[in-house]
Amino acid sequence: MTATSAQDISARYHFACDVARQAAELAYDFYQRRQQLAVEHKGDDLQDVVSQADREVEALTRRLIAQRFPLDDFLGEESGGSGGSAACTWVVDPIDGTACFLNGLHTWCVSIGVIVDGDPVIGVVYDPNHQEMFHACKGQGAFLNHDPIRVHAGSSLRDGVMGVGTSHRVTPEDFVPFISRLLHAGGMFIRSGSGALMTAQVAAGRLIGYYEPHMNAWDSLPGIVLVREAGGVSNDFLADHGLQRGNVLLMANAEIYSQLSELIQQKIK
């Protein structure tokens, strides 16, 4: 049996859901006593924070995965990568939306993706505040808990609300013009503070699409699987070393995607 067999992928899919649930339980326990957590800033970006909760939740996921699939690679936001060349790589953000988490907002989640032979095939986003698990495996559809989900059926930017994200990794000039064009086109947007959760909401049809000029792989890959399995499309995020360096992310249904691409006015692979 190879690591890319359907049976092996299915085993990882079900295990990813289990790990996300366990990670979310630990994260939510920290959330309830968040005032006690020590918080650090990453580099010079005062908006980019990490806490004991992030580190311990990631350590739990890494340990559980290593025990079950010891030959798989691991890439986490806080601990980096295992540096191997395995067929399967787990990509994890233990708490996406740490700033929201630390300030008592409900817009944060656990994000787990699995790449098999260079292709994103498993995506799980767990929102413990609402007990919602968005999950998908390539070829099997996308689900919210036990119910199938589909992307928004709108044909115009006026038909729904866009999710957007940005960070200090890009300049305002990389992002603000898109917002202006979106509003002039009659669209509207939200930014919740968790890109992974917003991409899952695109898959569930709650948001009409999502755009971020630069996003990290651990926040992007689960939503890419979810949206594609829910009938939507996304750009080739892994192009140009996206796994290691991050990339632009754009996703929506096919008709809206085309309209958004024109608003961004840049070549997206």
Binding residues: 77, 93, 95-96, 219
Round to whole Å and give the CA distance between 65 and 139.
Answer: 23
Residue set of the binding site for Mg(2+): 77, 93, 95-96, 219
Name the residue type at position 166: T
| Of 106, 115, 111, residue with least CA distance to 126 | 111
Task: Show the tokens assigned to 204.
Answer: 């569930």
DSSP for 99-144, written as a single string = HHHHTT-S--EEEEEEEETTEEEEEEEEETTTTEEEEEETTS-EEE
b/e per residue 181-196 (b: at least 16 CB within 10 A): bbeeeebebeebbbbb
| Region at 56 (left for phi over 0; alpha for psi -120 to 50; beta for the rest) | alpha
Any bridge partners for residue 49, and if so which?
41
